[in-house]
Chain A
Amino acid sequence: MLYKRRWPLLIFLVPGLLFMFIFLYVPFIENIKNSFYDMTAIVEMPGTKWKFIGLRNYRKLITDPDVGTALFNSLKMMVLTILFEVGIAFILAVLVSQVKKLQQLFRTLYFFPVVISATALGLLFKLFYNYNGGMLNQILEYFGKEPVNWLSTELAFTMICIPTLWSYIGFYFVILLTGLSDISDDLYEAAAIDGCNRFKQVFYITLPMMKPVFFTSVTLAVTGALKVFDLPWVMVPNGAPQGVTHFLGTYMYQTTFSLSNFDYGSTLAILIVVLGIVVSRMMRFLTKDRKGGE
């Protein structure tokens, strides 16, 4: 260690650490504790003491049909992010790596929706989906078809998934493209000499070499799916219609901040954390398992 005096260490370390303790670690623990209490008001006052209620919130969690919907939607979203976000991103990345010109331009354009706020994107797509004169219905009308209620009970979930997935494809595209460019050209040349066509090259070289990058992308996509909030909230607040479009995040927000059920909201937050941990562990387990098999 270079620096002999130790006290400056405290000056460097303590402010940040203190900050994280006050706004991350302590609240995290407090949140767990809160889920076992009946929080009559957000701030405890004399006369409104919180009552210990044990596992009541957890029992409610299991039987609550809305949790079922939200959980199912969030899980569906996870699968969709893997298939469509990472999947389309991979196809685009492979294609872009095959061409010489305009690579930079494609990168710039594909990544663009990532930097735009989900709130703005949500409202933009709301204009597309509007029943009276929304963009999609204008197209239908032009072809002489009846207008469609795009945010109806049957369609709403799909229509929310489209912008949510679309907006982040560029993110995984960049990650995967970087991974692709790290694979040495010699490998492809050797394969080409051995008579391997481009399709086979993707299967036998690209996919195996990209495994770690895929693992990162899939883990990010799946945990990202759990954090979805802004976009569905703007387009279909409170899981409209009839709560069918609730995700765990939006349901947690509604429970906590629209309905002021703080303790049950805390329990929902714990469900999100546990699910995140389980899913990322599962991803790690799956990739490790394959490595062992080789």
Chain B
Amino acid sequence: MRLINGNGKDKKRKKHKISTIVIYVILTLWALTTLFPFLWVILNSFKESSEVLTSSFSLPQNFSWNNYNNAFHRLNVLNAYKNSFLISGSVTLGVMALSACMSFALSRYRFKGKSVIHGLIVASLMFPVFSTIIPVFRMIVAWGLLNKNIAVILPQTAGNLSFATIVMLGFMESIPVEMEEAAYMEGANVFQVFTRMIIPLCKPSLSTVAIFSFLWSYNDLFVQKIMIRDNTKFPVSTLLEEISSQYGTDFGLMAASVTIIMIPVILVYIFLQKNIIRGLTAGAIKG
């Protein structure tokens, strides 16, 4: 399409057509690799285990909800959902609130040590969770919070906070101060300006922050595994791992469990894919 050449137009065009078809074929093949595993697992979640073992590619002989029944009755999936949504919801709200406040302070005030704080926030991006988890675990044990949702919420919030603040800060610095000036001169105080003007203006970047905080938290296994050891209090990722070690040979049940864990994310992804893609790649594209 980019080649516009006077000579041999027809030949070129034909060649072009073929290459376009080849491109579409390659792109479609890759799309199949990303789609196939999920379709396969959903398909097999409706089969008896013995059927999964012998004919995992065919449609289910008798479409059954047995595996789902099993999962919900034997495994307390609903409770795991509840825990996960409580944890990830709190992490999301906490990260949004704290990062919005911090970036407001850093973008609207000048004070001593500001560059130090900014440097600290950037530096903490280099702290992988491995490097802080042992002392955090010690604190959680000492405070008697082990096996409570808050034990996962606290480190996950801290872990997302520095990145969220950097994303928010970039956005807030791009908002002109003139509007706030007018409101402030007319007698609104800082907090009114913040909650009624800045927060609504920051909606796009707040949604970015919300999306990656929620997904990172919901999908994370590492922190959940360390902080929640009581299997009646498992969130989804740890529950899933437990299922695989206990019922690993029950293929139907495994397929159903994997599907159950993915369903909320798939549904949200279908409706919000553009926001999600933007949210998760935000740091990389802006930075």
Contact = CB atoms under 8 A, between A and B. Distances in A.
11 contacts: A19-B158, A24-B127, A43-B142, A96-B27, A117-B218, A118-B221, A119-B241, A120-B240, A227-B130, A252-B130, A257-B226
Contact of B134 (A92, A100, A170, A256): A256
A16 B101 contact: yes
Given A115-B276, A117-B261, A15 B98 contact: yes
A188 B3 CA distance: 9
Given A115-B280, A116-B265, A106 B102 contact: no
B111 A6 contact: yes
Contacts of B285: 175, 178
A34 interface: yes
B273 A111 contact: yes
SS class, residues of chain A in contact with chain B = helix
Nearest to B156: A23
Contacts of A249: 130, 222
Interface string B255-273: 1011001100110010001
Contact of B277 (A113, A174, A226): A174
Given A43-B142, A175-B284, A28 B219 contact: no
A112 interface: yes
Nearest to A231: B221
Contacts of B215: 115
Which bracket fits the contact residues of A? 35 or more
A65 B117 CA distance: 40
For chain B, the bracket of interface size reads 35 or more
Interface of B: 1-5, 19-20, 23-24, 26-27, 30-31, 33-35, 37-38, 40-41, 44, 52-57, 98-99, 101-102, 104-106, 108-111, 117, 120-121, 124, 126-139, 141-142, 154-155, 157-159, 161-162, 165, 177, 180-181, 184, 190-191, 194, 215, 218-222, 225-226, 236-237, 240-241, 244-245, 248, 251, 254-255, 257-258, 261-262, 265-266, 269, 273, 276-277, 280-281, 284-285, 287
A268 B131 CA distance: 9
A183 to B, nearest CB: 12
